[in-house]
Structure 1
Amino acid sequence: MLFRCSRTVNCPVVGQTFPLSEAAQAHALMEAGGSFGKIALTVPHDPL
């Protein structure tokens, strides 16, 4: 991924991360236009 980003101008920038449980808040922020870059949702690690 880093190699691809170094060779292209269009590299995504993560502006904020939210836990999956706060997906509604992340969506509201996106709709309000209050974010810079991408919004990422994190999923908790659940060992099997």
Structure 2
Amino acid sequence: MNEWAAEDLEGEDMEYVEWAGEYQFYVKLNERLRVLEGIENISS
């Protein structure tokens, strides 16, 4: 992510903005998945 710039992508600014938004969405989903995977189901 840090190595890319709008000029590196075809379509430039708009494509970069879309890609960056999708990447951030992916990162947040993975963080939530790790939290959910860390939850233990404890039944009595």
TM-score of the two chains, using structure 2 as the length reference? 0.29
Max radius of gyration: which structure?
A: 2
Higher relative contact order (CA 8 A, sep 6+): 1
More strand by share: 1
TM-score of the two chains, using structure 1 as the length reference? 0.27
More helix by share: 2
